[in-house]
Amino acid sequence: MNLTGLIFLLFAHYFTGRGIVRLFRVEMTAVALFCFSLICGVTVHSMVPCIMELLHVPITVPNMYAWLAGSAVLFSIPLLLNIKQTKMPRLELPQLYELPFILIFLGLAAVSVWRCWYFPPTPRDVLTGTELIAEFTVKEHTMRNSVFSVDYRLNGAANNMFKSPFITGLQVIYKMLVLPFGQLWLSVLFIAFTTWLYTLIRSIVHPLLAGILMLIYFAIPDLFAYTYIILYDYSNMIFFFAGFYFMMRYLDNDRMNELLWVTFLFGMATYIRSETLVLAAVVVVLMAWYQYRAKMPLKKIAIRAAVFMAGPLLFNFILSNVFIRNLVPAEFKLGDLLNHDMTNVSELFARYKELLMDLMFSSKGEQVFAHFYIFFLAVLGIDIVATRKFSKDGGLALWGVLVVFLTLGLLCFLIPSHTVINSAKRGLFKLIPLMVLYMAHSGILQKLSAYLRRKEEAATQKGTVAAAPAERATPAPKQVKGKK
Amino acid sequence: MHFKINLTLIAVLAIVLFFNIPFYKNWLDTNIFNQSISYFTVKDQLSVEQRKAARYGSSYVIYNEFVSMYPKLKLDSPLLLLPPEKFLKERGVNGLNVVEPTVYYYLTGKKAVWYDSPDVEKANCALLPDNNGKVMIQRIPNQEELHKLLDIYKKYKLDL
């Protein structure tokens, strides 16, 4: 493994991403800023090999170093322009009672990173598509390489070659600069996202409860597996959830820069998985509905909806009409993939039933998601029956869950190759952080959280009061001497 | 401080209880603590080739053995005709998973075709089973032999 290459890439990702986040001027904590800098840097860098190819620049190691360094310098310009405003971040140390959880998370993260490093890429979807292209790009220095002279049909229904170059680009970069299997970019995304999610959840509920929620989240077998197996869905989940969360924040403040940040995040999610465009189109309706209820004028709602959709549409255009059209020398026929019997609506309901009964709440579902949905339903059930309290953010997270579920079923209906057991299974990852967010906002955990915080505060005050007389009882020796 | 220590004990208890739920205990034992892929088990087998063989299994090793035999076949540009898996299974070959041409290209760097691939007429070697359930790579001497083979293969659906 080339450690120098990895360190170079981490710096390049950080400065590129930091510059991008700076462009949007979104207020966030130091940890969130650090995490999003890495997340955005990694994702934007995945486009670098594509741009090099489009400009007929040979994809070689020296060129790759030069282009990545160039991109980091270019995106650092917004930072350099505001260097005087840069403040040292104030980091809050974790509480003693968070340490057991943090140790477990670090242990699991170490297992994930080790497997990401040790295993070569495995999923058939990437071996017959993006990873295959990346492997031969490294050997032949071009993305339009000999792979396309091989019969790449998969029983006549393959579209793996036409998937986003997100993985191809990152695999090319990491194979060239770090190690032959690439892949470690996934560990960067995983650690950055999980760190942000933990700090987000602990800002909503008491850290003890945040630790328990994150433990349930970490121990979802398939979600954990896709932290070291490269595919699109984990990365797509990161951007979808981040977009949704910042949209919730935007609904509180109606700041245009935050909306632009949201559209960028949904744009990135669409760039990774083009189907996200459909999800974004449904989420924008949800956003408009909330704005309508908040008595925003219709014209304003329409403008904001257009801004919201601009990112996903733009990145979908870049993905399909710039990258795939010019980088994949083959013809893609979407029509062949679409359902030819759209009028048979009973099939749509059959997909929803399949999602629920064959996937989420089945023995297969238990292997994939463990008892996560049961924990979620238990918290929701207690909220409905006992506390009957739904905060605005909790409600929005629940709407998000519904939107993802309904849209995934619809996608399975529209595109039959988008199977429930495979495609929707990983698509359901998008539900998971939304459900964690809901649980954090739930009435029952908020009550428990308030109780723990009160108790903790009281104990701290008691400690302070107890310590104060002791300090007064032992005056400084000099003062005593002076009085004498 | 006492309260924080109590909360720490609760955190430890929560973790212990969580990983005592049968499903999570099993996940921890069979997945996270899976010895076969732990660093301590594989620390002496960390070369790229060893890791590929460990992950892709016997198919990776067998296909690369076939490729190492290409020089003996004395072909200018070898193009392998892949058999349908059901064909091999019917002849008692069970240890080889047939992969698609793209995966073959990824694993070996050499090209292969299905019986219905556009370039199938250029195929000049094939995987043929012997009577002992083993597969041998053999040169296809002429177009007539190729078509005989294709006629047999076409009876099978290409289903991976």
Nearest to B32 among A101, A108, A118 (CB): A108
Residue B16 touches partner A, C-beta closer than 8 Å: no
Give first-to-last CA distance, chain B, whole Å. Answer: 61
Res A465: pLDDT: 66
> Side chain identity at A27, as an amino acid letter?
E
Query: Which of B28, B106, B119 is the best substitution to test chain A (most A C-beta atoms within 10 A)?
Result: B106
Res A36: pLDDT: 97
Task: Give the 3-state secondary structure of residue B82.
Answer: coil
Residue B93 pLDDT grade (very low, low, confident, very high; cuts 50, 70, 90): confident
Is residue B129 within 8 Å of residue B93, measured between CB atoms?
Answer: yes
Res A453: pLDDT: 93
Tell me the per-residue pLDDT of A99-134, one tens digit each, with 9 for 90 and over.
999 999 999 999 999 999 999 999 888 888 899 999
Q: Which residues in chain A touch residue B105, judged by CB atoms under 8 angstroms apart?
A: 132, 147, 150
In B77-136, the residues whose Cβ lies within 8 Å of chain A are 100-103, 105-106, 111-114, 117-119
Tell me the per-residue pLDDT of B101-155, one tens digit each, with 9 for 90 and over.
999 999 999 999 999 888 899 999 998 888 788 888 989 988 999 999 999 998 8
Res A476: pLDDT: 45
Contact B11 A208 (CB under 8 A): yes
ipTM of the complex: 0.89
> Side chain identity at B134, as an amino acid letter?
K
Q: Which residues in chain A touch residue B46, judged by CB atoms under 8 angstroms apart?
A: 118
Q: Where are the domains of chain A?
A: 1-83+96-230, 245-332, 336-457
**Chain B closest-CA separation from residue A456 CA (Å):** 7
Tokens of B10: 């609760």
User: In 3D, which of A227, A308, A237 has the Cα closest to residue A269?
Assistant: A237
Res A334: pLDDT: 63
Concatenated DSSP letters for B5-46?
HHHHHHHHHHHHHHTTSHHHHHHIIIIIT-GGGSHHHHTT--
Q: In sequence order, what are the beta bridge partners of B112?
A: B80
From residue A302, give the alpha-carbon distance in Å to each of A250, A261, A396, A438. Answer: 16, 18, 20, 28
Nearest to B8 among A100, A221, A370 (CB): A100
- State the average pLDDT over residues B43-53: 90
Rounded Cα distance, B154 and B160, in Å: 15
Res A335: pLDDT: 62
Q: In sequence order, what are the beta bridge partners of B138?
A: B126
Is residue A50 within 8 Å of residue A315, measured between CB atoms?
Answer: no
In A93-152, the residues whose Cβ lies within 8 Å of chain B are 95-101, 104, 108, 111, 114-115, 118-120, 122, 124, 127-129, 131-132, 135, 147, 149-152
Query: Which of B3, B45, B49, B103 is the best substitution to test chain A (most A C-beta atoms within 10 A)?
Result: B3
Total tally of structural domains belonging to chain B = 1
Q: Is residue B82 part of a domain?
A: yes
pLDDT along chain A (484 residues), means of 10: 94 95 91 96 96 96 96 89 72 89 96 95 89 95 92 65 92 96 96 97 96 96 95 95 96 93 97 94 94 94 96 95 87 70 84 89 90 94 87 93 93 83 86 96 94 89 65 46 40
Sign of CA dihedral A398, A368, A132, A181: positive
**Chain A closest-CA separation from residue B133 CA (Å):** 26
Res B1: pLDDT: 72
Q: Is residue B125 part of a domain?
A: yes
Q: B142: domain range?
A: 57-153
Contact B15 A135 (CB under 8 A): no
Residue A383 touches partner B, C-beta closer than 8 Å: no
Res A158: pLDDT: 57
Q: Which residues in chain A touch residue B18, judged by CB atoms under 8 angstroms apart?
A: 212, 215-216, 219
The CB-side HSE value for A455 (13 A sphere, CA atoms) comes to 15
Q: Is residue B1 part of a domain?
A: no
Rounded Cα distance, A329 and A47, in Å: 18
Q: Which residues in chain B touch residue A372, judged by CB atoms under 8 angstroms apart?
A: none
Contact A219 B27 (CB under 8 A): yes
Rounded to the nearest 10°, the torsion over CA A355, A356, A362, A365 is 50
Chain B residue at shortest CA distance from A156: B158
**Chain B closest-CA separation from residue A460 CA (Å):** 7
Chain B residue at shortest CA distance from A370: B23
Q: Is residue B126 part of a domain?
A: yes
User: In 3D, which of A359, A472, A474 has the Cα closest to residue A423?
Assistant: A359
Q: Residue B138: which H helix or E strand, with range?
A: strand B135-139
What interhelical angle do A207-218 and A431-441 show, nearest 10?
160
Res A82: pLDDT: 75
- State the average pLDDT over residues B95-99: 84
Tell me the per-residue pLDDT of B8-21, one tens digit each, with 9 for 90 and over.
999 999 999 999 99
